[in-house]
């Protein structure tokens, strides 16, 4: 794991150990160095002291060049195991005696060197003047000691330093482990709270506070933030609840209205059904028995009587037509719309063929533009075209060259369908009455009709989300425009 990914606890412990280790190491190095330097100085001065004593003892032997005495004096050095070699030189630099008695050549320099004590080639060597009185030099004493004592001392202080270092590091680790908690615990608690809050989305949690330091301030800020989130969440929830309530209320209201509408619709259905069934039956009786009278009692009736009966029959048949038209109008509102692509040109041609087939005696010129299409309910649109084309056909009845057109124009991006005739037309004063139920601008004597057709047409157009309007000039024709 990379160091930056270590847990904070480990990082803190590592930092503490690193610092204390470094400090201890430097201290130990200083200690060992000081020990060694001090010890070298000590053994040098010891060697100097011993040399001076030995030199003082050697004056007689050297003054009389007594070799045996000199050798004896030097032989006392055997009690110090560190002493490696020694020699006495006379005034002329010749060797008078050596220790050990027969030393190897490299142990003892051939001639005395300048006075003094120094470490040389792993040994401590010293040249001490041997003098009688103040200024009468008799010769030189040479002593060589090994430095084992120094290395022993060095080893000892090294071992001490390592042991101290180890104990100190252990103590430092224990202390670090115990004390890092002061810093890491608040951070860990904060981290734990943050994680819990974000994973469980529980903003009522609060991080525990351990003190008034910067971490304490951070904990406070974090807790405040959680508090604000909690408040906002509650507010949001309240809003949502209120919204849900309102939606539920509205839904209920809508459902209630839908039920009402359904009830109204089924009432209307029942009404229409009963109209279609029950209102026609008496008409059939009226018409039927009038006909019976005309057939069976024609002899007893004069012309006026027969005429009256014919009028009764015509009226009842007219009422039947009215009922049928009204039912059609009601059905237009009730039937479900099925939207599809409708070929209006083809539909218009079929209607025209039907008109021409049922009334072959009239010659009306129909001009139907090809390729007119629309999106809508084909059955309802057929009712629209049927009404408009038949109207055109009907109201051109007194025209010597009757003509009906079905075309379309584009107006402000909207497709506007146009049915135009050159028939009776109408006065624009009454244009707004054109589409009302039972509204007629011509008498039945002039042109037959119930006044329901255009009302039906407008209702269908409205159900398609379109508009219908008309323009007319009396005796010159009418033009109907509609969009879908």
Partner 1 sequence: MNPGKILLVEDNPDDVTLTMRALKSHNITNDVVVAQDGVQALDYLFGKQGRSPADDLPAVVLLDLKLPKLNGMEVLQRIRSEERTKLLPVVILTSSDEERDVIDGYSLGANSYVRKPVDFVEFTKAAQQLGLYWLLMNRAPPSPRGP
Using DSSP bridges, classify how beta strands 136-146 and 373-377 pair: parallel, antiparallel or unpaired. Answer: unpaired
439 near partner 1, rule: CB under 8 A: no
290 near partner 1, rule: CB under 8 A: yes
Q: Given the rule CB under 8 A, which of 54-62, 95-103, 285-293, 380-388 is the region that contacts partner 1?
A: 285-293
Quick one: which of 273, 297, 430, 438 contacts partner 1 (CB under 8 A)? 273
Quick one: which of 317, 339, 375, 476 contacts partner 1 (CB under 8 A)? 317
Quick one: which of 82, 280, 306, 415 contacts partner 1 (CB under 8 A)? 280
Q: Given the rule CB under 8 A, which of 220-228, 316-324, 352-360, 361-369 is the region that contacts partner 1?
A: 316-324
How many residues sit close enough to partner 1 to count as binding (CB under 8 A)?
Answer: 22
Q: Given the rule CB under 8 A, which of 145-153, 315-323, 336-344, 456-464 is the region that contacts partner 1?
A: 315-323
**Distance in Å, CB of 343 to partner 1, minimum:** 23
What the block records as the tokens of 136 is: 């009468």
Task: Calculate the CA 160 to chain-centre distance.
Answer: 62
Quick one: which of 277, 341, 357, 429 contacts partner 1 (CB under 8 A)? 277
Q: Given the rule CB under 8 A, which of 2-10, 229-237, 317-325, 419-427 is the region that contacts partner 1?
A: 317-325
Quick one: which of 44, 313, 390, 440 contacts partner 1 (CB under 8 A)? 313
Q: Residue 77 and residue 98: Cα distance in Å, rounded?
A: 11
Quick one: which of 106, 134, 278, 336 contacts partner 1 (CB under 8 A)? 278
Nearer of residues 66 and 276 to partner 1, judged by Cβ: 276
- Name residues whose C-beta falls within 8 Å of residue 91's C-beta, 6 or more positions apart in sequence: 137, 138, 139
Q: Given the rule CB under 8 A, which of 9-17, 230-238, 250-258, 284-292 is the region that contacts partner 1?
A: 284-292
Nearer of residues 280 and 415 to partner 1, judged by Cβ: 280
276 near partner 1, rule: CB under 8 A: yes
Q: Residue 20 and residue 165: Cα distance in Å, rounded?
A: 10
20 near partner 1, rule: CB under 8 A: no
287 near partner 1, rule: CB under 8 A: yes
5 near partner 1, rule: CB under 8 A: no
- Name residues whose C-beta falls within 8 Å of residue 303's C-beta, 6 or more positions apart in sequence: none
**Distance in Å, CB of 334 to partner 1, minimum:** 11
**Distance in Å, CB of 320 to partner 1, minimum:** 4
298 near partner 1, rule: CB under 8 A: no
Q: What residues line the site for partner 1 (CB under 8 A)?
A: 272-273, 276-278, 280-281, 283-285, 287-292, 313, 316-317, 320, 324, 327
């Amino acid at each position: 794991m990379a160091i930056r990914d270590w847990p904070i606890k480990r990082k803190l412990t590592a930092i503490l150990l690193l610092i204390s280790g470094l400090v201890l190491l430097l201290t130990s190095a200083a200690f060992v160095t000081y020990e060694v330097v001090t010890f070298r100085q000590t053994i040098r001065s010891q060697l100097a002291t011993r040399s001076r004593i030995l030199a003082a003892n050697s004056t007689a032997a050297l003054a009389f060049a007594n070799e045996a005495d000199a050798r004896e004096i030097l032989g006392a050095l055997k009690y110090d195991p560190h002493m490696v070699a020694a020699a006495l030189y006379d005034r002329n630099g010749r060797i008078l005696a050596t220790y050990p008695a027969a030393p190897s050549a490299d142990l003892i320099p051939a001639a005395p060197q300048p006075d003094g004590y120094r470490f040389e080639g792993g040994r401590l060597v010293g040249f001490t003047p041997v003098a009688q009185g103040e200024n009468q030099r008799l010769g030189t004493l040479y002593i060589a000691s090994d430095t084992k004592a120094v290395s022993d001392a060095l080893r000892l202080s090294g071992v001490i330093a390592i042991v101290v270092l180890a104990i100190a590091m252990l103590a430092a680790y224990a202390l670090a482990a115990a004390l890092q908690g002061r810093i890491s615990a608040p951070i860990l608690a904060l981290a734990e709270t943050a994680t819990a809050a974000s994973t469980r989305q529980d903003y009522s949690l609060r991080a525990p506070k351990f003190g008034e330091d910067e971490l304490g301030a951070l904990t406070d800020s974090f807790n405040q933030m959680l508090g604000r989130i909690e408040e906002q969440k509650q507010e949001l929830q309240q809003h949502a609840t209120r919204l849900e309530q309102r939606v539920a209320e509205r839904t209920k209201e809508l459902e209630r209205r839908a039920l009402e509408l359904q009830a109204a619709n089924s009432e209307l259905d029942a009404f229409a059904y009963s109209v279609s069934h029950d209102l026609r039956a008496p008409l059939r009786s009226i018409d039927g028995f009038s006909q019976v009278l005309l057939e069976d009692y024609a002899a007893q009736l004069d012309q006026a009587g027969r005429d009256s009966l014919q009028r009764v029959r015509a009226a009842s048949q007219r009422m039947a037509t009215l009922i049928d038209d009204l039912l059609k109008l009601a059905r237009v509102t009730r039937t479900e719309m099925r939207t599809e692509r409708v070929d209006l040109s083809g539909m218009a041609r079929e209607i025209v063929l039907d008109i021409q087939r049922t009334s072959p005696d009239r010659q009306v010129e129909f001009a139907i533009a090809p390729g007119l299409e629309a999106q809508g309910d084909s059955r309802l649109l057929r009712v629209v075209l049927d009404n408009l084309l038949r109207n055109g056909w009907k109201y051109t009845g007194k025209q010597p060259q009757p003509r009906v057109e079905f075309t379309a124009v584009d107006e402000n991006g909207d497709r506007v369908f146009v049915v135009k005739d050159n028939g009776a037309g109408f006065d624009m004063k009454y244009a707004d009455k054109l589409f009302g139920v039972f509204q007629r601008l011509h008498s039945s004597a002039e042109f037959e009709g119930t006044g329901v057709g255009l009302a039906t047409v407008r209702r269908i157009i409205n159900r398609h989300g379109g508009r219908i309007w008309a323009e007319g000039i009396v005796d010159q024709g009418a033009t109907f425009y509609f969009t879908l």
